[in-house]
Structure 1
Amino acid sequence: MKTTSTLRRAGITLLAATTLTAIPTAATADPSHGARAAGWHGAWAASPQSATAPFAPNWSQTGFADQTVRQTVRVTAGGTRARIELSNRYGSTPLKVTGATVARAAEGGAVRPGSVRTLTFGGRDSVTVPAGGTLISDGVPFRTTALEPVTVTLYLAGPTGPATFHHMAAATSYRAAGDHRADTAGTAFTETSGSWYYLSGVEVSGGPRTARRDGIVAFGDSITDGVGSTTDADNRYPDELAERLAATGRPRAVLNHGIGGNEVTNDTTWAGEKAVARFKKDVLTEKGVGTVILLEGINDIGGSGPAFPGGPTPEVSVNQLIEGHRTLIRQAHAHGIKVVGATLTPIKGSFYFTPENEAKREAFNAWVRTSGAYDSVVDFDRAVADPSDPDRILPAYDSGDHLHPGDAGYRAMAEALDVDRL
């Protein structure tokens, strides 16, 4: 690892410590933070993004017309009732959802017979989500347990135009022509995608812990999003953390608000709004959350280079990145949310690695460890680093690109978190 004198020679200065529910795009959190809002709290989440296809074709840019989309997600907290959140945050026209169901997941695009429940919106089967808006369905009796997969199916009869979606799902979504929202078999769902569409949350109520603000948000970029993990295996580090918590007999909601490619200080055309802007929309609107794990900044460091997908973004200094984190900490603390700061994981051997970028990463990590700005710190860097070459991910933890961990690396990250201090 670099010494302080090496960082100084690189010209880097460390800063010292110092019922139908509509949610507008620029919503701020309710001061009660939802803990008393009929006991509803988040059980699964994904951050919305605007339509884009930087790596491979998906369904976001063309949208849907007379098609059914079936999406399976794993809830991290259980309850006796469920409802969903639909986002049209980046839609330029209203989104008409003709009908929706929730069911217990089976294999592929199938669901378990007898489990399908019709979702309503203000008592109606169909709903229109305003351009730029978010809507929450009515609650439906639907018993769930922590770590259970549930399937949400949306029938979109009319043309939607470009779709608000979550690009890197590490999960398979299914599409069928026509109306198949009530199907239990998956035979009609012949098309697949690796993204989520319109679905941005699943909330539950009636569980044993609904009155507590003990939910956790994992906030960050692709390493929080789970890039490099096995598709449909729920092996992202937030998934592994949820499994650790459930194994103690005290399951808690863990909500993943990572976006692959996201930056703290720069907006991008393909990886979402900058973190300091989207934090209040994605995190502060979540119900029952008391802790956020903040792991973000490697794209700010590497994004100005020619290898950055989607084209380079403006160069970001270590001090600018630190100020971005301070902004996020202030936003969280203003809403009574504790912040766990995380060090940035190794990049040696990846397309981001240069001596200058590595010096920035080392300097920022030194600030995370020593500043006292966070409520607590988790050292993901050391958790996945190769002891014989600490600037590189341990080969057993590497997904293969020397930037993103694989399944074992994400498990090591989750194990580095002190669950008693969360």
Structure 2
Amino acid sequence: MPLTWSVRSRIAAGCAAALAATLFATGAGTLAGSTADAAQARPLSTVTTWAASDDKAGGSLTDVTVRNVVHTTIGGGNLRIRLSNNFGTSAITFSSAYIGTPTASDSAAIVPGSNRRITFGGKTSVTIPAGGVVLSDRLPGTVAPGADLSVSLALKGTASVITAHNRTMQYTFKSGTGDWAADESADHFGTQDANWFFLDAITLDAPTRVGTMAALGDSITDGVGSTINANHRWTDELAARVERLPEVKRFGIANEGISGNRVTSGGGSTGLPGQTRLVRDVLTKPGIGSVFLFEGINDVSGGVSADALIAADRQIVEQAHAMGKCVFAATITPANLDDADREATRNEVNRYLRTTGDFDAVFDFDAVVRDPSDATRLAAPYDSGDHIHLSDAGYRAVADSIDLRRLTC
């Protein structure tokens, strides 16, 4: 049965079930025809609608099903998922994989009738070698922009080192022992988690003029400080604005933030440094046409010099430009550093960002959220409370400050 997901995370569970039932009962034939007609009428290309950067989760997993709840940006057809074992030290096997519509963004339950099996080379199971990634077969049907999806992966055997994305600001669910990927109830998923496990991208087919912008950043790009399960990261707020544009001007957004990450390689960075992640996390994903760099506060607070951070930023620009990608940047926001030398470093890097011609466009997030009476601190409405990460209002403010016309080159 062709796939249709147009149920948003904020729809109540009862309404979601009714809508999904209607779509699957009456829309299958029409959907299949319209998708084929559209493909003949205009060429399509593969783009990334959702992404997360790979890192490591603590502990191990054995014979368990993980249910990752994610939120799309751009809509399209022929969905595929990308699974990663980048940090694994041995091969891992998934006995099955399914994708469906959650009844709510904070629930492990799936709208009845919406859970679909995913295959890999025509097979229902897949093995990923240590350090490897796999891309699933295409799943016929269309996915709406701004849709919540549940991706269930049944691990067979043990993953002794877990490839995951930490601090998701979104519940993920783990089952008891067994393959429960096809189960649409929440009965077997009694454990909440703050990681997305093994899943690092979802792709769709969209018109060829449509691409994806990858946001390369740290915990502020990850959305730390925003409301959990509400999709209030600045990239989500920006995606909501992009969704309202005419179709030919829309683009996907891939959030490639990692909490604690640095641009440079020194000083115990969480995850690989931004310079390395540019290739591994960003440029290997389908349809990436531009990179938005919003990172550096962890370098500054860790004592990295302005010269070293600027040199690293320039390396990212040069690498991305060499591969034909646009590169945008945002200034580093206040972080209550309480250290004159490190605050001077932040200001020096921001002066470089504001005045350089290296980037295709620069957006002054610092000016948007700083306290008018004390430029070293966040304005109270934009402070999540820890004086580093933004509140929902802060993330919305920086997203709203972006002139969408400048996100081109």
Same fold per superposition (TM over 0.5): yes
Partner of 1:149: 148
Alignment of 1:14-163 (within 5 A): 39-50=45-56, 60-107=57-104, 108-163=107-162
1:289 CA displacement: 2.0
Alignment partners' CA distance in 1, 2:268 and 2:108: 31
Partner of 1:414: 399
Contact 2:233 2:392 survives alignment (8 Å): yes
Aligned AA for 1:150?
L
Partner of 1:329: 317
Contact 1:45 1:256 survives alignment (8 Å): yes
* Structure showing greater relative contact order (alpha-carbon pairs closer than 8 Å, 6 or more residues apart): 1
Contact 1:213 1:290 survives alignment (8 Å): no
Give secondary structure in 2 for the equivalent of 1:39.
strand
1:281 aligns with 2:287: no
Mark the runs of 5 or more structure 2 residues left unpaired by the alignment.
Answer: 1-41
Q: Kindly tell me: are residues 223 and 68 of structure 1, through their superposed partners in 2, closer, same or farther at Cα, counting changes over 3 Å?
A: same
Alignment partners' CA distance in 2, 1:179 and 1:270: 35
Contact 2:377 2:387 survives alignment (8 Å): yes
* Residues 347-396 of structure 1 deviation map (CA, whole Å, 9 limit, x = unaligned): 22xxx431111011011101100121111110000011111222211100
Alignment partners' CA distance in 1, 2:244 and 2:381: 24
Partner of 2:197: 197
Alignment of 1:324-363 (within 5 A): 324-348=312-336, 352-363=337-348
Give secondary structure in 2 for the equivalent of 1:367.
helix
Alignment partners' CA distance in 1, 2:69 and 2:267: 28
Contact 1:262 1:268 survives alignment (8 Å): no
Contact 2:330 2:364 survives alignment (8 Å): yes
* Residues 229-281 of structure 1 deviation map (CA, whole Å, 9 limit, x = unaligned): 11110000000000011123444201100111101112566710111111111
Give secondary structure in 1 for the equivalent of 2:45.
coil
Partner of 1:218: 215
Alignment partners' CA distance in 1, 2:201 and 2:386: 30
Corresponding residue pairs, total? 361
Partner of 1:389: 374
Alignment of 1:399-410 (within 5 A): 399-410=384-395
Aligned AA for 2:99?
V
Q: CA RMSD in A?
A: 1.6
1:39 CA displacement: 2.0
Q: Which of 261-270 and 371-380 deviates more?
A: 261-270
Alignment partners' CA distance in 2, 1:81 and 1:346: 42
1:335 CA displacement: 1.4
Alignment partners' CA distance in 2, 1:72 and 1:166: 12
Q: Kindly tell me: are residues 354 and 417 of structure 1, through their superposed partners in 2, closer, same or farther at Cα, counting changes over 3 Å?
A: same
1:109 CA displacement: 0.1
Partner of 2:8: none
1:114 CA displacement: 1.1
Q: Kindly tell me: are residues 262 and 45 of structure 1, through their superposed partners in 2, closer, same or farther at Cα, counting changes over 3 Å?
A: same
Alignment partners' CA distance in 2, 1:325 and 1:84: 30
Aligned AA for 1:363?
E
* Residues 129-187 of structure 1 deviation map (CA, whole Å, 9 limit, x = unaligned): 01001111111114211101111000112112120010111100001112211111112
TM value normalised by structure 2: 0.85
Contact 1:267 1:273 survives alignment (8 Å): no
Alignment partners' CA distance in 2, 1:232 and 1:47: 18
Identity %: 40
Q: Which of 62-71 and 232-241 deviates more?
A: 62-71
Contact 2:47 2:211 survives alignment (8 Å): no
TM value normalised by structure 1: 0.83
Partner of 1:30: none
